[in-house]
A and B are shown apart, each in its own frame.
Chain A
Amino acid sequence: MVVNPPLRLEVVGITKRFPGVLANDHVSFAVKPGEIHALLGENGAGKSTLVKMIYGIMQPDEGEIRWNGQPIVVANPRAARKLGIGMVFQHFSLFEALTVLENIALGMDAKIPQRQLEAKIREVMATYGLTLDPHRIVSTLSVGERQRIEIVRALLLNPRLLIMDEPTSVLTPQEVEQLFDVLRLLAKQGCAILYISHKLHEIKALCETATILRGGRVVDTCDPRQETSRSMAEKMIGAGLKDVTKPASRTIGREKLVVNRLSVPAAGHFGVALRDITFNVRAGEIFGIAGVAGNGQNELLLALDGEEIGDDAGAITLDGERIGRCSAKERRLRGLSTVPEERNGHAAVPEFSLSDNSILTGRDRLGMVFSGLIKPGVAHEYTGKVISTFAVKATGAAATAGSLSGGNLQKYIMGREILQNPKVLVVSQPTWGVDAGAAAAIHQAIVDLAVAGSAIVVISQDLDELLALSDTLAVINGGRLSKPMNIADVTIEELGLLMGGIHGEAGHPADKEPVHAA
């Protein structure tokens, strides 16, 4: 045994060019065995590219990767796994219709009999305190549980370096704590962890070292425990951070959106049924809906924006008009705008230009159609306005939506809806996977729209976000919505309990039923 064990991973002068972009510019950093190392940076700073090269998905143009002191070439992810590098991606690669066990078996490089594999899975889960039924169908699982599959999949390989890409964006506070316990235990056993995130308080709580990337370069390496969240954020975005300003003297007007006993049966046997959802949102009010992923948030958004149309016209009222039986198009014409959680393929068409994506939701409200024909000039001009007003980094209105980073695409989508001046705006996960700079801009835009007199519903799993933005807060669980609470009266503990499915109502024993049971 040497006195100083070699560095687990060392990246020296890595450079990666894409057409028109220098994604990584001579990036160097090192990770020791047992270290939890944060890779911090805005979207587009080059974090993903860097870890993709470490995991063998891409090859660097220049530079060297050293593993336990030896220079290596990671030809592909399989080679990376063979070395002992595991990775949990932000977007999971799971087959919805298969069980947990089948999904894990499909991802294994070596063929192992199912029975043996199941035993191994149970062993890993017991070691790290993860709970998951290997025989559950993936589509019935919450996002947090799906992530657990990916983690188990990585742990089965007994990794020496685990790369986690934005792992907490979809977890409850309790789930985040559980995840951190697992990661700390792993680190204690000598596994190095490369933790990619932009959530600064988490990095402060978890990591010993942080490498901060900006524009493809390493701008700083620091000990997050010695820094403030603000100082790290400013290094990350390279400028002073703007706070969201929420004017105290906002006038809350009359009711704009009234939802009265909205019920929607579950779509297929994988969906969540909405049951007697009741709330109202007034002009100028921001109404927050908290909850763990997969408790009916998606279904609620679809029911509100008319992608799923119910039977009861009176279940949804917009400005006094009963719109429960109206189509998505009619609702939008009346001033109800929505931003679904999934940016690519739901809120926007990735291969379409931004201009065409403006036509998608703005064509009727903004006069982009004349007797069945589209007026591209109007769409182009409007898109230009969105890009400049919301500081969207794009080559122009003709850039495809798919070419934008997550944060910029989200800014564009929010801008596209906000500049239509909606009476009611419903947004789901407005800042999921979005960097701090873009998130602050999006939050400010939401507040500004409320100040201008629109009613806003924010559905989110990010409690910090909801606590900062909302005037009123409710929790969705198992397709039911809790009683709305004034933000001043809310405690984190109470929210955590409501999110876990304990409503504190009579006839609802505090047993630990699965939160996603529908």
Chain B
Amino acid sequence: MRLKLEKRAEPSRFMLYASPIGAVLVTMIVGAIIFSVIGYDGLGAVYQVFIAPVTTSYKWQDVALKASPLILIGVGLAVGNRAAIWNIGAEGQYVVGGLAGTGVGLLTQNFTGPWILPTMLVAGFIGGAAWGAIPAGLKTRFSVNETLSSLMMTYVAIHLMNYLVTGPWKDPSGYSFPQTPLVTADQTMPIIIPGTQVHLGVLLTLIIAVGVWVLMSRSVFGFQVRVVGSAPNAARHGGFSQKQTVWLVFLLSGGLAGLAGIFEVTGPFQQMSLGFPQNYGFTAIIVAFLGRLNPIGVIIAGIVLAITYVGGDMAQSALQLPNASKGIFQAMMLFFLLASDILVRYRLRFVSRTPAPAPSPSRSAA
């Protein structure tokens, strides 16, 4: 009896959806074992990280607030990854989007009116898109690998933010803390569920995700992205430009990351500060893959990852688990997902017959 991998005639649709669920379950099991082995309450850790945020109703708003940027960034990355264009720099685009919107906010501090917030949001999108345009331009003009350039631009973005927040944009009445002035009332995201912190950005994120789903599944643009990702030569044959696709994908994914950034500034943060980069841009890579590069899947995956963020914090206070533990859970999830994805194209079969060993090759010349 032995196990055998056998190629499927067609990729399995069942495994396509079962594999992320399996990955989450295996993460829970292995996580429980690992934390038990190193001397924590393993089952308790898994409970705190994955279950407690769901069963504790006052944590739901935290989950929604964490999920929103993950989903918004993840949706953009899903589009790029579909085209086999690897934008690893969403964190930087998120930061620059936040900065661009904050810049508009600083200029409009002394104004009032309903136009101010939308202007900041547009600036956030443009800022993220502009930051995404840099690796896009480098790739289309000079064939620079976008994985590296987009990642490196993230560090540039963070240094730019550090400079602005500790220098020219520092709040003069902020006791010299490295942060910008608080946003005004007209610069704040309206709360959509009274009594919580759930703001309009969460709703906009869901609307955008559904919109991108329609775009990807129904539009010529979505088709173009999928062809370029699957078979670049066929894309050329079909009349689709690879360069145009690179540009569109980076502008879209960068723009959405930037929008997520300004949602955070005008929502939970209320200002730009040194603590602004939350690794959402990197975690969203996991979200995109866990969501099968499908915007609807990304919504679900974003919620799952948000649960681990919130649960990680809960486990920290309840079980004194180190802060890094949620990173371990998140990384395991991506790892198990990539590993179980082989079952989409292959099936496992038990083979009962054990083959006889091969006789030594006969060297006789006939």
Which of A306, A338, A340, A352 is close to B230, meaning CB atoms less than 8 Å apart?
Answer: A352
Is A372 engaged at the interface, CB distance under 8 Å to the other chain? yes
Structural contact, A83 and B234, CB atoms closer than 8 A: no
Query: A373–B238 Cα gap in the complex (Å)?
Result: 16
Considering the chains assembled together, what is the distance between the CA atoms of A130 and B62 in angstroms? 72
Chain A residues lying within 8 Å of B355, measured Cβ to Cβ, are: 59, 73, 75
Residues of chain A lying within 8 A (CB to CB) of residue B358: 72-75, 79
Q: Which of B10, B221, B238 contacts A372 (CB 8 A)?
A: B221
Tell which of A306, A363, A400 touches B220, judged by Cβ atoms closer than 8 Å: A363
- Within the complex, the shortest CB–CB distance from B134 to chain A, in Å, comes to 27
- How many angstroms from the CA of A68 to the CA of B6 in the assembled complex? 30
Question: Could you say which of B220, B227, B237 contacts A307, with CB atoms under 8 Å apart?
Answer: B237
B362 interfacial by beta-carbon distance below 8 Å? yes
Among B218, B237, B365, B366, find the residue whose CB has the most chain A CB atoms closer than 10 A.
B237
Contact A327 B234 (CB under 8 A): no
**A360 and B362 contacting across the interface, CB-CB below 8 Å:** no
Residues of A within 8 A of B9 (CB): 18-21, 403
- Taken together as a complex, chains A and B put the C-alpha atoms of A12 and B225 apart, in Å, by 49
B3 on the interface (CB 8 Å rule)?
no
Q: Given A5-B366, A73-B356, are A19 and B8 also a contact pair (CB < 8 Å)? A: yes
* Complex partner residue of A350 from B8, B218, B231, CB under 8 angstroms: B231
CA distance A405 to B8 in the complex (A): 15
Bound complex: CA A21 to CA B223 (Å)? 31
Question: Which residue of the partner chain, among A73, A84, A328, A349, contacts B227 with CB atoms under 8 Å?
Answer: A349
Q: A328: which of B218, B239, B359 is its contact (CB, 8 Å)?
A: B239
How far apart sit A307 and B234, CA to CA, in the bound complex (Å)? 10
Residues of A within 8 Å of B220, CB to CB, are 363, 369, 372-374
Of A84, A305, A356, the contact of B223 (CB 8 Å cutoff):
A356
Min CB gap B64→A, angstroms: 31
Report the Cα distance A399→B9, complex, angstroms: 10
Enumerate chain A residues within 8 angstroms of B356, measured Cβ to Cβ.
Answer: 71, 73
| B357 interface contact, C-beta 8 A | yes
Give the contacts of A337-391 with B (CB-CB under 8 A): 338, 340, 342, 345-352, 356, 359-361, 363, 369, 372-374
Write out the residue numbers on chain A whose beta carbons fall within 8 Å of the beta carbon of B218.
Answer: 373-374
How many B residues touch A, CB cutoff 8 Å?
31
Closest-by-CB residue of B relative to A64 is B356
Size class of the A contact interface (CB-based, 8 Å)? 35 or more
Within 8 A of A (CB), among B2-39: 6, 8-11
In the assembled complex, the CB of B299 is this many whole angstroms from the nearest CB of chain A, namely 22
* B252 CB to nearest A CB, Å: 15
**B236 nearest CB neighbor, chain A only:** A307
B340-366: which residues lie under 8 A (CB-CB) from chain A? 347, 355-359, 361-362, 364-366
Q: Is A251 an interface residue (CB 8 A)?
A: no
Which residues does chain A contribute within 8 Å of B236, judged by CB atoms? 307, 328
Contact A348 B234 (CB under 8 A): yes
Q: Is B112 an interface residue (CB 8 A)?
A: no
Contacts of B361 in A (CB 8 A): 82-84
Interface status of B233 (Cβ within 8 A of chain A): yes
Q: A70-B359, A70-B362 are in contact. Are A345 and B234 (CB under 8 A)?
A: yes
Check A329–B364 contact: CB distance below 8 A: no
Determine if A204 is an interface residue (Cβ-Cβ < 8 Å): no
A214 within 8 A of B: no
Q: Does A33 contact B (CB under 8 A)?
A: yes
A282 touches B (CB below 8 Å):
no
Residues of chain A within 8 A (CB-CB) of B11 are 351, 400
Pick the most buried of B356, B359, B366: most chain A CB atoms within 10 A of its CB: B366
Instruction: Point out the residues of chain A lying under 8 angstroms from B365, CB to CB.
Output: 160, 190
Contact assessment for B366 and A67 in the assembled complex, using a CB-CB cutoff below 8 Å = no
* Interchain CB contact (< 8 A) of A68 among B8, B347, B366: B366
| Distance, CA A114 to CA B80, complexed state (A) | 43
**Cross-chain pairs A/B with CB under 8 angstroms, 13 sampled:** A5-B366, A6-B366, A8-B366, A20-B9, A21-B9, A68-B366, A70-B359, A71-B359, A83-B361, A346-B237, A349-B234, A350-B230, A372-B221
Query: A residues near B, CB below 8 A?
Result: 5-6, 8, 18-21, 33-34, 59, 67-68, 70-75, 79, 82-84, 160, 190, 305-307, 327-329, 332, 338, 340, 342, 345-352, 356, 359-361, 363, 369, 372-374, 399-400, 403
Residues of chain B touching chain A, judged by Cβ–Cβ distance below 8 Å, are: 6, 8-11, 218-221, 223, 226-227, 230-231, 233-234, 236-239, 347, 355-359, 361-362, 364-366
| Apart from the given pairs A352-B227, A361-B238, 7 other A-B contacts in the complex at a CB distance below 8 Å | A5-B366, A72-B359, A307-B237, A342-B233, A347-B234, A352-B230, A400-B10
Those 9 A-B pairs whose CB atoms lie nearest each other, nearest first? A329-B239, A33-B366, A328-B239, A360-B238, A346-B233, A349-B231, A345-B231, A83-B361, A73-B355
